[in-house]
């Protein structure tokens, strides 16, 4: 919807925009949540975990930004697969001109990919929140 776009230029900006959307909806937000280890021993972390304080329903979010065409999108299928190992439901929120149309369509087709501009509506449906007015564009800030 018009008015929902944010000025996102980096992966950090994307995480901030997702956090601000969740904050505006009254959701609790935790960043870099440890969730065990991967097969080769590396620590697995979820970028953001959102929780509804009333229902205690949770959602993990991986934030993926790609400003230019490149190989970063090659990691997306592994990210989608990794989400299935989490102990909670999860999605990938993505943004950036660098994602090819094929990768955008792949992400959406999995049911696990949500474009940043659609996140507010998606979270309202997932957490059972009432529909609202389109949020005013926010300026990204660092997560502190």
Nearest Cα neighbor of 52 from 25, 34, 32 is 25
**Candidate CATH numbers 3.40.1160.10, 3.40.1350.10, 3.10.310.10, 3.40.50.300; the one for domain 11-127:** 3.40.1350.10
Of 67-71, 95-99, 133-137, which one has max mean pLDDT?
A: 95-99
Give me the residue spans of the domains in the chain: 11-127
Q: In this predicted model, what pLDDT tens digit does every residue of 16-57 receive, in sequence order?
A: 999 999 999 999 999 999 887 776 777 889 999 999 999 999
pLDDT of res. 4: 46
| CA dist., res. 38 & res. 141, Å (int) | 30
Angle between helices 119-127 and 11-24 (to 10 degrees): 40
DSSP 127: H
pLDDT of res. 113: 94
Cβ atoms of 99 and 74 within 8 Å: the answer is no
pTM: 0.81
* DSSP per-residue codes, 23-57: HHTT-EEEEEEEEEE-TTSPEEEEEEEEE-TTT--
More confident residue, 137 or 89: 89
């Amino acid at each position: 919807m018009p008015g929902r776009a944010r000025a996102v230029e980096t992966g950090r900006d994307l995480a901030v925009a997702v956090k601000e959307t969740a904050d505006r909806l009254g959701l609790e937000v935790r960043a870099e949540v440890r969730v065990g280890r991967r097969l080769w021993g590396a620590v697995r972390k979820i970028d953001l975990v959102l929780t509804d304080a009333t229902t205690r329903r949770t959602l993990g979010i991986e934030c993926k930004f790609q400003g230019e065409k490149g190989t970063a999108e090659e990691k997306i299928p592994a990210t989608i697969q990794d989400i299935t190992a989490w102990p909670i439901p999860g999605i990938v929120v993505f943004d950036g001109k660098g994602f090819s149309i094929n990768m955008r369509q792949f992400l959406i087709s999995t049911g696990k990919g949500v474009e940043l501009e659609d996140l507010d509506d998606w979270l309202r449906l997932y957490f059972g929140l009432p529909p609202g007015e389109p949020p005013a564009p926010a300026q990204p800030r660092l997560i502190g």
